[in-house]
Amino acid sequence: MKLLLAALSSLALAPVAGAAEPASPYVGEQAREIKALPPTEIEGLLAGKGLGYAKAAELNGFPGPAHVLELASELGLSEAQAVATRALHSRMQEQAKALGARVVAAEAALERDFRDGTVTEAGLTSSVAQVGQLQAELRAVHLLAHVEQRRFLSPEQVVRYMHLRGYHAGGHASSAHAH
């Protein structure tokens, strides 16, 4: 009886012959201007947004300048801290926007090579390396801003930041750090 039930279960779960294959998760993306980048990511890159590039810092007790500015009153920022944070955020944004535009341009060039059928192995290797290098530089800009931001805050402010952002269950917010 158990064998019969197992066999029937197998048949019920088996695909029906001639059934359509599941659609690709990429369906609909063929209309994108740059296939590798969703429009929201392009917008984020051009606007200098973080896009998760600094998650290693953010979730380990290294606050980001944009969020510190958003939480300035809750963190009790002094005027000097606010001025330093605004300057840091401005520098980071300027660098991130420039690099983001270069990432988008490099991805667009790679897209054109494929769309036009002019892609070569050597050109592909070079294009992908360029995109990777630009993404690495962009990530470093965001991560370094978090490192610098932490120097402007007291340990208590870092702990408060982590709590306000909802990270109180983990991370290293209470680690000692230099000011």
What confidence tens digit (pLDDT) does each residue in 117-173 have? 999 999 999 999 999 999 999 999 999 999 999 999 999 999 999 999 999 765 454
What confidence category does residue 177 fall into, taking pLDDT thresholds of 50, 70 and 90? very low
Q: Is the pLDDT of residue 41 over 70?
A: yes
Assigned domain for 92 exists: yes
Lowest mean pLDDT among 1-15, 69-83, 84-98, 102-116: 1-15
Q: In this structure, what token pair is assigned to residue 162?
A: 């982590």
pLDDT 10s digits, 8-18 = 455 455 555 55
Is 72 within the bounds of a domain?
yes
178: pLDDT confidence band, cut at 50, 70 and 90? very low
Give the model's pLDDT for residue 23. Answer: 87
Round the average pLDDT of the chain to a whole number and report it: 88
pLDDT one-digit tens code per residue, 98-123: 999 999 999 999 999 999 999 999 99
Q: Are 71 and 161 in contact (CB under 8 A)?
A: yes
Q: For residue 8, tell me if it sits in a domain.
A: no
pLDDT of residue 8: 46
Please check whether residue 4 lies inside any domain of the structure: no
pTM as predicted = 0.80
Whose tokens are 């990530």? That residue is 139
Q: What local confidence, expressed as pLDDT, does residue 132 receive?
A: 97
Whether 109 is in a domain gets the answer yes
Q: Which domain holds residue 65?
A: 36-162
> Do the Cβ atoms of 63 and 98 come closer than 8 Å?
no
* Contact (CB, 8 A) for 51 and 103: no
Q: Is residue 156 part of a domain?
A: yes
Mean pLDDT calculated for residue range 48-64:
96
Q: Is residue 151 part of a domain?
A: yes
| Residue 170: inside a domain | no
CB-CB neighbours of 134 under 10 Å:
20
Average pLDDT over residues 30-35: 92
Average pLDDT over residues 77-102: 98
Work out how many domains the chain is built from and give that number: 1
Give, rounded to a whole angstrom, the gap between the first and last alpha carbons of the chain: 72
